[in-house]
Amino acid sequence: GGETAGAATAWWRGAQRPALLELAREATPRYVYHLPTVRQQAHALKTLAAVDRLHYAVKANTHPAILAALAAEGFGFECVSPGELKAVMAAVPESAPLLFTPNFAPREDYARALGTRATVSLDSLYPLEHWGELFRDREIVLRVDLGRGLGHHEKVRTGGSGSKFGLPVDQLDAFLRLADAHGVSVRGLHAHLGSGILDEAHWGEVYAQLASLAERIGSVGFIDIGGGLGVPSHPGEAALDMVALDRVLREVKAAYPHYQLWMEPGRYLVADAGVLLARVTQQKGKGALRYLGLDTGMNSLIRPALYDAWHEIVNLSRFDEPATGLFQIVGPICESGDVLGTDRRLPEAQEGDVMLIAQVGAYGKVMSSRYNLRDEADEVIID
Ligand code: LLP
């Protein structure tokens, strides 16, 4: 096992607290991203000697300063839409590799991606059956479904019979026949089983399965074992152990040295770098429960409502005061699911106090909405 939850040593607990209070005085709700934490996570991934190329899964956070910082660390970029490709190309140098791995995308998305330097991935027969001329004489990546999914919540598992992702392995021969007919060369084999995985052995299993499939396809040069690297989110959970992960990967690589190994993490790079600052609006006692209202809720952070995700919440204005009770932390949105945290031990709060919601650098702002026509949270970088 690795170290205990990174949350215990998170950057926002220390010297940055006055700066965060100042940023909250200017505006809330507000996302704040700590670039040194992004770089620290990038460095941890770069210790994986078995991995030949890292793509950042930009769906986790598309802030241009984060994209630029990861480009400077040598990362490529995995994009799933023309919008993401555009955002990346505007923020990073032309030398950064791009990967386009959409799902059920329209024909024109592939056409646009093929007009860039991106390597394009397919995960069904349909594009070659119906739009074969688009891919003629191209090199592509094939995403397969290894028949199972994994992840922190049912809704983030992207493999197995209930999932819309990936080419089922029993259609591999049909895919290769179509590829052959169109002069398409399968250069890479790809799988991504889900998100928020904290078991190092998982990536070794995916790697070995993909490599063994690749032996049936003469043209494969690289294996992409996806992302999904989790970060500890509950107190006491252990972080991924990069030494153990590298050992697992190197074992497989020893058996298949002829393939390059690629990975595409999102969350691992940015989750702990981001916090959401919000202000206390009102309080209410109702039966046995005490509600603490904030000036934003599921419109800015939908993960608790969507996945029952747990995010640490602290009162930044009273950081050193003792907890006095249990609070339900809610937002101003007209939905009963507009809850950011339940049964949180916190000090007595007052209207205007600054609350911090932690570990929201991944899948926070990017999944936010203007529901109820609330203004969006803005974003600030600390470097
Ligand atoms: N590669 C592919 C093909 C993916 O679909 C994803 C994430 C990643 C890489 C990056 O996964 P990561 O390393 O970030 O786990 N909104 C959810 C997570 C959805 C992930 C979707 N795909 C959440 O907030 O937990």
Ligand 1 and 101: CB distance under 6 A: yes
pLDDT value of residue 90:
98
For residue 287, the CA-to-ligand 1 centroid distance in Å is 39
What is the average per-residue pLDDT within 75-98?
Answer: 98
Q: Does the Cβ of 229 fall within 6 Å of ligand 1?
A: yes
Q: Residue written as tokens 């996945």?
A: 307
* Beta carbons of 357 and 313 less than 8 angstroms apart: yes
5 has pLDDT over 80: no
The answer to whether residue 334 is catalytic is: yes
Q: What is the pLDDT of residue 3?
A: 41
Question: Whose CA is closest to atom 24 on ligand 1?
Answer: 363
Q: Tokens 């600054």 label which residue?
A: 354
- Residues 334, 336, 343, 373: which is the catalytic one? 334
Whole-number Å distance, alpha carbon 49 to ligand 1 midpoint, is: 23
Of 383, 380, 382, nearest to 31 by C-alpha is 380
CA distances, 159 to each of 143, 210, 319, 349 (Å): 11, 14, 42, 44
ipTM of the prediction greater than 0.95, yes or no: yes
The CATH T-level fold of domain 271-382 is: Lyase, Ornithine Decarboxylase; Chain A, domain 1 (2.40.37)
pLDDT in tens, 167-204: 999 999 999 999 999 999 999 999 999 999 999 999 99
- The SS3 of residue 127 is helix
Q: Is the pLDDT of residue 373 over 60?
A: yes
Q: Could you tell me the pTM of the whole model? A: 0.97
pLDDT in the model for residue 1 = 32
CATH 2.40.37.10 range(s) for the chain read 271-382
Instruction: Cite the residue boundaries of each domain of the chain with CATH code 3.20.20.10.
Output: 36-270
Q: Is the pLDDT of residue 2 over 80?
A: no
- The verdict on the CB of residue 144 being under 6 Å from ligand 1 is no
Q: What would the pLDDT profile of 23-38 be if each residue is shown by its tens digit?
A: 999 999 999 999 999 9
228 CB under 6 A from ligand 1? yes
Q: Which atom of ligand 1 is nearest to the CA of 228?
A: 15
Does residue 57 have its Cβ closer than 6 Å to ligand 1?
yes
Q: Which phi-psi region, left, alpha or beta, contains residue 166 (left: φ > 0; alpha: ψ -120 to 50)?
A: left
pLDDT, tens digit, for every residue of 216-259?
A: 999 999 999 999 999 999 888 899 999 999 999 999 999 999 99
pLDDT of residue 217: 95
- Decide: 338 and 298 in contact? Cβ < 8 Å: yes
Class of domain 36-270: alpha beta
60 CA closest ligand 1 atom index: 14
Sign of CA dihedral 383, 77, 256, 171: positive
Q: Are 217 and 176 in contact (CB under 8 A)?
A: yes
For residue 193 and ligand 1, the question of a CB distance below 6 A is answered with no
R_g over Cα of the chain? 22
